[in-house]
Structure 1
Amino acid sequence: MIFFSIAEKTDSLYDQQIVDISWLEFTLSLSLVVVTLLLSLLLRLHIQKSVFVASVRAALQLLAVGLLFTAIFDHKFAELWSWLWVTFMVLLATEIIRRRVPTVKRLPLVALVAITTSVAMVVSVVFLFSVIDYTPINIVVVSGITIGNIVPTAVLAVQQLNMQLTSRRLEAESLLALGADKSTLTKFFAPQIIKTAITTQIERTKVVGLIALPGAMTGLLLAGIEPMDAVLLQLIVMYMILGSATITVCTIVWFGLKLSLTTDLRFISQINDI
């Protein structure tokens, strides 16, 4: 019984199978999860439940996505469903950021605008310049990769923003007392916060191909695509991720700092209430 297949571009997305993975092979891959559970028991790490839940949840979510891909992209309104899916991902990403940093108020709207702007710019560049073919599948894939990499960077940015306004509160108030306005305060705090938030993404881009083979390229190579084609597509993905993450972080930090002050240049009453 065939569980999964990777197909080349044909009249049907599912006509030609290049990599065939059976249920047995899939089950055998779970042996590594079993090893993790055993190590947790032996070393008393107490992470068995988390590992088990994460493994089951990942399987269910990806299986659901696979079924949705099959159902949606065979539908006559596939393009409409694709954009609805992207909208759902943007809203979910916004909610995830809000939940990760619940102490930061008035954030969801800023995050929503930042993520939407980043996704719109990536999609515009990729499809308007025909970097990648405009198809329902590619709409979801490109947007999903972008949003998936934006979220952790955005969460880190918000955490840094919250920490800076908490630990350096007196310094900020001193600047305001000396006549600084919102723009001055933003220019003072923003660079360090933004730099800290996107450093991980920059370092990941630096070492790509040296100590890590990214997922997009690996998947294409397994699918039988020419190595140079896989490399070029991976570079496109890496540049998309780096650019969108930077745009999102800059937007969130810039407006987050401005929203931390009232119109008369006083901090919101609650330290963590932005």
Structure 2
Amino acid sequence: MDTMGLSGSSFWIDFLQGMLKPAVATAVVAMAVALSFIQRLGLEGEMVYSVARAFLQLSVIGFVLEFIFSQKNAGWIVLAYLFMVLVAGYTAGQRAKHVPRGKYIAGASILVGTSLTMLLLIVLNVFPFTPRYIIPIAGMMVGNSMTVTGVTMKKLREDLKIQKNLVETALALGATPRQATLQQVKRSLIIALSPVLDNAKTVGLISLPGAMTGLIMGGASPLEAIQLQIVVMNMLIGASTVSSITSTYLCWPTFFTKAYQLEYQVLNGD
């Protein structure tokens, strides 16, 4: 009993000591909050909430991952993946909250893009189907797809609202809703995917990729680390592209009535 008590005390001492540096690092967040207040951005509350939430989530997920990595049941992989997709769909839908059924559309788009990409990588034997590989990979793909999907849906609605006269003219000339919105769809996709492509162009020149750097620091050969990072960049581009395109196909019908007229109630919502 005494041994268990000492072990528990040692755990919490190590935990608190380990959290000292992250706690001190919140000084940079305080700077961001101060700048937001000075510039009257109104983001102070969201900044504090985001940091507090990230702190709590990372503290918990570390132990959850340790448990999942020790399991050999594929069900835990699928469960963890679906949970990530669920949270990502909700978050992306919040960013595009004026799109009807936005959370469901975002979730379905992220699921399609990431699952197809991951399935292809597994079939080609690029990665083994084990928790230590699949869960981090799925997390990176879902995170990128979440950002891209949210931006795509939000930008598409904004462009349709601004350029509704052009869309209505095309519809009056006999174009289908998809044909009438082709330019707006292309623009939303280009804007959403540009950061992903720019990151791929500058990786290693501006930002040092975490996967490659971590492997080298862990003692892996540079060649192995480079190979892994190239695979990671490729899968991020593939998953993000499929997810964003899927979201346009799923969300653009919500901007039109059954009579193929613009749904002003959706476009004019605040």
Alpha-carbon distance in 2 for matches of 1:40, 1:266: 44
Alpha-carbon distance in 1 for matches of 2:142, 2:248: 18
Moved more, 123-132 or 262-271: 262-271
Is the contact between residue 186 and residue 258 of structure 1 (CA under 8 Å) also seen in structure 2? no
Q: Which residue of 2 aligns with 1:6?
A: none
The change in CA–CA distance for 1:62 and 1:263 in structure 2 (over 3 A counts) is same
Cα distance per residue 1:202-240 (max 9 Å; x no partner): 111110000111222222223222222112111111111
Q: Which residue of 1 aligns with 2:121?
A: 126
Q: Unaligned 5+ residue runs, structure 2?
A: 1-9
Q: Which residue of 2 aligns with 1:159?
A: 154
Q: Which residue of 1 aligns with 2:21?
A: 28
Q: Which residue of 2 aligns with 1:8?
A: none
* Deviation (angstroms), 1:189: 2.5
Moved more, 262-271 or 174-183: 262-271
The change in CA–CA distance for 1:25 and 1:93 in structure 2 (over 3 A counts) is closer
Q: TM-score, normalised by structure 2?
A: 0.83
Cα distance per residue 1:16-54 (max 9 Å; x no partner): xxxxx9864652354332254267559964877655544
- Tell me the amino acid that sits aligned with residue 51 of structure 2: S
The percent of aligned pairs where both chains have the same amino acid is 26
Of 66, 77, 83, which residue of structure 2 is paired with 1:82?
Answer: 77
Alpha-carbon distance in 2 for matches of 1:170, 1:143: 41
* Deviation (angstroms), 1:251: 1.3
Alpha-carbon distance in 2 for matches of 1:109, 1:41: 36
Equivalent pairs counted in the alignment come to: 256
Q: Which residue of 1 aligns with 2:61?
A: 65
Q: Secondary structure at the residue paired with 1:270?
A: helix
- Tell me the amino acid that sits aligned with residue 263 of structure 1: K
Q: Does 1:256 align with 2:251?
A: yes
The change in CA–CA distance for 1:269 and 1:98 in structure 2 (over 3 A counts) is same
Alpha-carbon distance in 2 for matches of 1:263, 1:126: 40
CA RMSD of aligned residues (A): 2.8
Moved more, 148-157 or 32-41: 32-41
Of 215, 219, 222, which residue of structure 2 is paired with 1:224?
Answer: 219
Alpha-carbon distance in 2 for matches of 1:236, 1:22: 34
Alpha-carbon distance in 1 for matches of 2:45, 2:104: 34
Structure with the bigger percentage of helix: 2
Of 188, 191, 195, which residue of structure 1 is paired with 2:190?
Answer: 195
Alignment of 1:1-274 (within 5 A): 24=17, 26-37=19-30, 45=38, 51-75=47-71, 77=73, 79-272=74-267
